[in-house]
A and B are shown apart, each in its own frame.
Chain A
Amino acid sequence: MSQVYALGVTESQKHLQLISIPRREVGPSDVHIHVEYCGICHSDLHHCRQEWGDTMKPSVPGHEIVGKVTQIGSLVTKFKVGDSVGVGCLVNSCRECKPCGHSLVQYCTKGVVLTYGSPLTDGTGHTMGGYSQAMVVDEAFVLSVPTNLDPAAVAPLLCAGITVYSPLKHYGVKAGSKIAVLGLGGLGHMAVKFASKMGAHVTVLSRSEGKRQQALALGAESVLITTDADAFNAARSTFEFVLDTIGDEHDVSAYMDLLGVDGTYIMVGASPKPFALSAFSLIMKRIKIGGSAVGSIKETQEMLDFCGEHGIVSDVEVVKAEYVEKAWERVLKSDVKFRFVIDVAGSLNADTVVQV
């Protein structure tokens, strides 16, 4: 066991601060990773600010991790010291249930072990994430990062990227598909990049003109201003897919109207409050609404390889560890293009004082 520095919240201190956390000994199947970068996901906030319920303390978030292998266990075959690797939202699963057997580990029926905030299977505590100097992870949950990509810009692929890549494939988005992307944040901007690279016709839905240039630069063919009633009406029933990445309350039924017969509404935004779903909006055009959760390890690796081949990464703003609370405030205002990434190796150390 070793101690490392991390940023986390405790029972007494509600803002992120420098703390020390234990990392387990490197077991036979483990990979020890020196964390270089960690993306800031809105889930990190939801979790630490207890918006999704009580959490075990200390809470150390972060599940978009890129770093270098510094040690491997004796049974490890997939990685060697010096490799550039990633860790996403999962660090373990039961490995016995049907979903685990079908490369659907994120749907493990016994409960997947998340990178932060999950009870450890041996009962000794809970998992702590990538806002820390190092991680020890079973090799089955470690990913290989293509060396031609900027590691800081790769980090958000491990949650934001796979969260949209997985359902785009699963629900059948392909070359020629007409898809509307709702929300142009961490998830939304990756959805535009992936869907357009897959050959789909992408429209970004936006409340104002301000995002037009960004949307087109990311690969969208057009922007639909949702507050323009005439434009919105003309767009009704013209899409095969709507990909909804909005994590706050919003009127799902209104956007569902954009779908034509047999359309699919893909829900990946984790809005805390229930939304109103009318039976008729599904029945009258045989529409389906489906969810999706991150992606499996196999699928995440496919996505990373696809990104390596096509030079796709996230658009990031790299920040120092001390800036993290300020970054969180800006995340809440959607004031980032399009993901913050903490320069962990370059700024998380004994002298870090988080600015509040």
Chain B
Amino acid sequence: MSNVLAIGVTETQTKLHLLTIPRRAVGPNDVDIKIEYCGMCHSDLHHCRQEWGETKKPSVPGHEIVGTVTQVGAKVSKFAVGQTVGVGCFVDSCRECKECGDDLIQYCAKGVTGTYGAPVKDGTGHTHGGYSQAIVVDENYVLSIPSNLDQAAAAPLLCAGITVWSPMKHYGVKAGSKIAVLGLGGLGHMGDENKKPEALALGAESLLVTSDKEAFKRASRSFDFVIDTVSDDHDLASYLSLLGTDGTYILVGGSPKPFALPAFSLIPKRIKIGGSLVGGIKETQEMLDFCGANNIVSEIELVKAEYAEKAWDRMQKSDVKFRFVIDVGRSLNKDTQVKL
């Protein structure tokens, strides 16, 4: 076991601050990773600010981790010291259920072990995430990062990226599909014309300003898919009008309050609303390889560890293009003082 520095919240100190956490000794199947970068996901906030219920303390979030292998256990075959690797939203699972067998690990019937805030299998505590200097993970839950990609910009692929990649494949988005993306954040609100240049630069063909009632009405029934990434309260039912017959509304935004849905919003066009949760390991690796082959990474703003709380405040206002990433390797150390 070793101690590493991290930033997290505790019972007494509810803002992120420097603390020390233990990391387990490297077991035969484990990979020890020196963390270089960690993306900031809105889930980190939801979790630490207890918006999704009480959490075990200390809470150290972070599940968009990119780093360098510093040690491997005796039975590790997939990774070598010095390799650039990633860790996403889970670090273990039961490995016995049907879901685990079908690379639906995130849906593990016994409950997947999340990268942070989840009970550790041997009962010794709970998991701590990537807002820390190092992490020890079983090789079956570690991913290989294509060497041609910028490491910091690859970090958000591990949650934000796979969270949209997986359902787009699963629900059948393909060449020629008409898809509306709701939320222009890491996975923000699409609000005004000012977002047009960015949206188009990212590859969108058009921007629909939802507050423009006329334009919204004209767009009625014109899409095969809507992908809803908004994690705050919003009127989901009003966006269903965008779908044509047999359209699919993909819901990945973890909105805390239930939506009010009239039965009639689904019946007259035979539309369906489907959820999705991150992606399996095999699937995440496929996505990363695709990104490597096509030079796709996230648009990020790289920040120092001390900036973490300020970054969270800006994240809540969707004031980031489009994901914050903490430069852990170069700014998380014993002198770190998180600014409030």
Interfacial residues, chain A to chain B (CB-CB below 8 A): 98-99, 104, 107, 109, 167, 170, 237, 253, 261, 264, 267-271, 273-293
Contact of A286 with B275 in the complex, beta carbons under 8 Å: yes
Contact of B268 with A293 in the complex, beta carbons under 8 Å: yes
Contact of A261 with B252 in the complex, beta carbons under 8 Å: no
Point out the residues of chain B lying under 8 angstroms from A107, CB to CB.
245-246, 268-270
> Which of B19-27, B31-39, B85-93, B259-267 has 4 or more CB atoms under 8 Å from chain A?
B259-267
A259 to chain B, nearest CB (A): 11
List 15 additional A-B contacts (Cβ < 8 Å) besides A109-B245, A286-B107, A286-B274: A107-B268, A237-B109, A274-B261, A277-B259, A279-B253, A279-B275, A284-B275, A284-B277, A286-B104, A286-B170, A287-B274, A289-B273, A289-B274, A290-B273, A291-B270
What are 16 of the A-B contact pairs (CB < 8 Å)? A107-B245, A170-B270, A237-B109, A261-B107, A276-B260, A277-B258, A277-B261, A278-B258, A279-B253, A280-B275, A284-B275, A284-B277, A286-B275, A288-B272, A289-B273, A292-B267
Contact of B268 with A276 in the complex, beta carbons under 8 Å: no
The verdict on A290 contacting B260 (CB below 8 Å), with A107-B245, A279-B253 known, is no
Distance A278 CA – B257 CA, assembled complex (angstroms): 7
Interfacial residues, chain B to chain A (CB-CB below 8 A): 99, 104, 107, 109, 167, 170, 221, 236-237, 244-246, 248, 251-256, 258-277
Contact of A289 with B272 in the complex, beta carbons under 8 Å: yes
Checking A273, A279, A284, A285 against B255 with a beta-carbon cut-off of 8 angstroms, the contacting residue is: A279
Point out the residues of chain B lying under 8 angstroms from A292, CB to CB.
267, 270
Distance A269 CA – B261 CA, assembled complex (angstroms): 13
Point out the residues of chain A lying under 8 angstroms from B107, CB to CB.
261, 284-286
Checking A264, A276, A289 against B266 with a beta-carbon cut-off of 8 angstroms, the contacting residue is: A289
Distance A247 CA – B209 CA, assembled complex (angstroms): 36
Distance A283 CA – B273 CA, assembled complex (angstroms): 10
B100 to chain A, nearest CB (A): 11
Point out the residues of chain B lying under 8 angstroms from A237, CB to CB.
109
Contact of A293 with B270 in the complex, beta carbons under 8 Å: yes
Contact of A283 with B254 in the complex, beta carbons under 8 Å: yes
Distance A261 CA – B269 CA, assembled complex (angstroms): 25
A312 to chain B, nearest CB (A): 23
Q: Nearest CB to that of B278 among chain A residues?
A: A283
Point out the residues of chain B lying under 8 angstroms from A286, CB to CB.
104, 107, 167, 170, 274-277
The verdict on A290 contacting B275 (CB below 8 Å), with A107-B245, A275-B263, A277-B259 known, is no
Contact of A282 with B275 in the complex, beta carbons under 8 Å: yes
The verdict on A269 contacting B263 (CB below 8 Å), with A286-B274, A286-B275, A288-B273 known, is yes
Distance A170 CA – B251 CA, assembled complex (angstroms): 21
